């Protein structure tokens, strides 16, 4: 999981992460119309490089913003996970009745 997080960070935003600089801060069991998934959310305490949007066809922009003022177009389940991380919650459900 940690290796996948570091790999995706390099592919998607161009930053290098060391495993020891990642901390798992939230786990979310998310469900959409088709399937359920488990998402792991990590906080990077340091990284190398400047974040850039390497997937503009999937992501309109990268921004730094307070957790209580996320852009309106953030996908629902990561937005909810970020709000819960801000409240110190380590686990949540999203999309389940």
* pLDDT tens, residue by residue, 16-34: 999 999 999 999 999 988 8
* Tokens coding 10: 């390099």
Read off the CATH number of the domain in which 57 is found.
Answer: 3.90.79.10
Here the tokens at position 35 are 């399937």
pTM, entire model: 0.89
Domain count, the chain: 1
Question: Residue 21 sits in which domain range?
Answer: 2-94
Residues 52-94 pLDDT 10s: 999 999 999 999 999 889 999 999 999 999 999 999 999 999 9
Q: CA nearest 38: which of 79, 87, 74, 1? A: 1
pLDDT in tens, 6-19: 999 999 999 999 99
């Amino acid at each position: 999981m940690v290796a996948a997080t570091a790999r995706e960070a390099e592919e998607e935003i161009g930053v290098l992460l060391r495993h020891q600089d990642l901390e798992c801060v939230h786990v979310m069991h998310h469900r959409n119309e088709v399937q359920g998934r488990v998402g792991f959310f990590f906080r990077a305490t340091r990284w190398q490089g400047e974040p850039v949007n390497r997937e503009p066809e999937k992501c309109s922009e990268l921004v730094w913003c307070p957790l209580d003022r996320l852009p309106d177009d953030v996908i629902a389940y990561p937005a909810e996970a970020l709000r819960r991380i801000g409240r110190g919650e380590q686990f949540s459900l999203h999309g389940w009745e």
